[in-house]
Structure 1
Amino acid sequence: MASEAPSVQADGRRAGRRPATSAAELEHLALRMFTEQGFDETTVDDIAREAGIGRRTVFRYFASKNDLAWGNFDAHLEDMRAALADAPPDEPMLAVLRRAILDFNTYPAAEGAWLRRRMTLILGTPALQAHSTLRFESWRTVVAEFVARRVGQPVGALLPQAVAAAHLGVAVTAYEQWLRSGDTDLVGILAEALDLLGTGFAAL
């Protein structure tokens, strides 16, 4: 016998569903809704209703709908900033950057499918592009600040900015390759891309 459809409460949430109680749960729910329904078509109210929480609670976890797509990017970025600051001063600059960037992009296996959803959404959704520019700029600033300290130049000087932009470029390209190639290893592709950059594309 076919099962009965789940009942719906007055707030539109399916009865019996446990409310989302963490930022990670809310992030995963939002990513699922964005990829299944479309980013533009999914509102914060839709997410709150599905999560079984109020709209204000959503904004306690995330400042905007755009931030839901990025998850805990800011916390990861602060971890990378700390790793760069703690690196031994005699370790070559590019080696430090390589390790920090690979660590920044290393996720538990259980998060792999969610990461693929997130990056497909971020790189392929026009409505997220302006917000993505701000996020990428924050990432570049962390790298440029590290390089500037190492070379004794202002953070806005050409060398720190060029190094930061080059590393961001190969990182984004590695993600694009990973998304196109199915189940291949993201960190492996990224390591290969960073090695190409580190050798000045000597293979050419």
Structure 2
Amino acid sequence: MAGRGSGGRQAVMGRPKATSRAALERLAFELFARKGFDETTVDDIAGAAGIGRRTFFRYFQSKNDLVWGDFEGHLQRFRELLAGTDPRTPMMTALRGAVVEFNRFDPEDVPWHRQRMRLILRVPTLQADATLRYASWRRIVRDFAAERSGLPPSAMFPRLAGYTVLAAAIAAYEHWLAAEPDTELSALLDEAIRRTGEGLASADLPDHRVGDELPDEDGRGGGAP
């Protein structure tokens, strides 16, 4: 969901100055694990990294922004995965494959990604930010569904696809976080989205006129494709 994360096992003490986004992420996650997200400040992160606040803000706009990593880059990768699917592949099969691949991680990165998603899904102060980020993720699914179905993005069916695929992915992640550490995330995502896809596939495709003139999630009008 949040895209590929950053790994790292070095201790905070004795660490050289952190001069990259990845190094700051790793260090901050170590602090979050020890002190808690809300109790860790930007000054704490910058001080442990041996940099000033001004340098921290060159890499991240806020502490919340750090948790998500390179989110825009992750979204672009998701778009590319969907764009690269075979047009002959059924829509939900293509979506399922892209989401599973998007959330595939090297074994050494899995513990860090688990920590990242635990923060995103369970820390109350991150929920407003998560709502905005997931709206961007959902729009990618919506636009893909619109293209495949021949409907405008403002129609009901593409919107439904965006919301249901996101809900399935979040459900899979919640189950993964509650499961044993060796539980396979890919298998959970595959199962959750497959079950969602069965429901969407069994529904009649809405009439092209339904919702064509409703504003989309960006507030713009729909119109014919």
Counterparts of 1:81 and 1:114, CA distance in 2: 24
Q: Where does the alignment leave 5 or more consecutive residues of structure 2 unmatched? A: 1-11, 202-225
Contact 2:18–2:49 (CA under 8 A) maintained in structure 1: yes
Residue in 1 aligned with 2:114?
116
Residue in 1 aligned with 2:60?
62
Q: Which amino acid letter does the alignment assign opposite residue 195 of structure 1?
A: R
Matched, 1:189 2:175: no
Counterparts of 2:111 and 2:81, CA distance in 1: 26
Matched, 1:97 2:95: yes
Per the normalisation by structure 1, the TM-score is 0.87
Q: Which amino acid letter does the alignment assign opposite residue 134 of structure 1?
A: L
Residue in 1 aligned with 2:143?
145
Per-residue deviation, 1:40: 1.6
Per the alignment, in what secondary structure is the counterpart of residue 106 of structure 1?
A: coil
Per-residue deviation, 1:88: 2.3
More deviation in 20-29 or 175-184?
20-29
Per-residue deviation, 1:55: 1.4
Q: Where does the alignment leave 5 or more consecutive residues of structure 1 unmatched? A: 1-12
Per-residue deviation, 1:100: 0.7
Distance 1:187 1:53, change over 3 A: same
Residue in 1 aligned with 2:223?
none
Counterparts of 2:35 and 2:174, CA distance in 1: 22
Q: Which amino acid letter does the alignment assign opposite residue 198 of structure 1?
A: G
Q: Which amino acid letter does the alignment assign opposite residue 186 of structure 2?
A: V
Per-residue deviation, residues 29-50 of structure 1 (Å, max 9, x unmatched): 1122123212221111111111
Per-residue deviation, 1:168: 0.4
Contact 2:43–2:53 (CA under 8 A) maintained in structure 1: yes
Matches within 5 A, 1:1-204: 16-183=14-181, 184-200=183-199
Per-residue deviation, residues 36-78 of structure 1 (Å, max 9, x unmatched): 2122211111111111112122222222111111112321211
Per the normalisation by structure 2, the TM-score is 0.79
Per-residue deviation, 1:170: 0.7
Per-residue deviation, 1:83: 1.6
Per the alignment, in what secondary structure is the counterpart of residue 17 of structure 1?
A: coil
Contact 1:77–1:104 (CA under 8 A) maintained in structure 2: no
Per the alignment, in what secondary structure is the counterpart of residue 90 of structure 1?
A: coil
Computed over aligned residues only, the root mean square deviation of the Cα atoms, in angstroms, reads 1.8
Per-residue deviation, 1:27: 0.8
Counterparts of 1:75 and 1:201, CA distance in 2: 29
After TM superposition, the runs of 4+ consecutive aligned structure 1 residues lying more than 6 A away are none
Per-residue deviation, residues 84-126 of structure 1 (Å, max 9, x unmatched): 1232222211111011100111111111110111111111111
Counterparts of 2:194 and 2:121, CA distance in 1: 23
Contact 2:93–2:194 (CA under 8 A) maintained in structure 1: no
Per the alignment, in what secondary structure is the counterpart of residue 199 of structure 1?
A: helix
Between the two structures, name the one with larger relative contact order (CA 8 Å, sep ≥ 6).
Answer: 2
Per the alignment, in what secondary structure is the counterpart of residue 199 of structure 2?
A: coil
Per-residue deviation, 1:201: 9.2
